[in-house]
Amino acid sequence: MNMLNLHKDQSGAQTVEFALALLVFLTFLLGITDFARMLFTWNAANEATRAGARFAVVCDNTGNQADVLAKMQALLPQINTISLAWEPAGCTPATCEGVTVTITGLNYQWISPIAGLASRAPIPMPTFSTFLPREIMRQDPNSNAICL
């Protein structure tokens, strides 16, 4: 009879152990997912700088930073601040040698519970920058679709 009473006293222990193990497992899984999201954002920011520089050198956007920003935001909407530097400074579409497009002020917000408890402030990401040499502006031999 003693064994039967012992079994009844521990009937909820398995449920509590499962709940604790599930909590640890889900926190770990969300942490991995959040880290993968951060790597995706990092890669998308690199691609957005490349696409913005490509758009600028092909489409003759020496003075129109807003169009380049819009093209970049199509890939990563979180981008708010870019700089567009033509080289040499003050050049015209005929004399420019290239362009440097830089993303600054990009932040990443964690969503997983562990990181969220540690800090609710966004994590600043590094500066992303790409330089591309000048091409035959507005005359891409393969397609003019990038400038539309």
pLDDT of residue 92: 77
pLDDT of residue 61: 60
Residue 89 CB contacts under 8 Å (≥ 6 apart), including other chains: none
Q: What is the pLDDT of residues 109-121, one digit of tens each?
A: 887 766 555 566 7
pLDDT of residue 121: 76
101 within 8 A of 53, measured Cβ to Cβ: yes
Estimate the crossing angle of helix 65-73 against helix 13-59, to 10 degrees: 150
Helix ranges (H only) for 60-96 are: 65-73
- Which residues of the chain have a pLDDT value below 70? 1-11, 60-63, 113-120, 136-146, 148
pLDDT of residue 12: 80
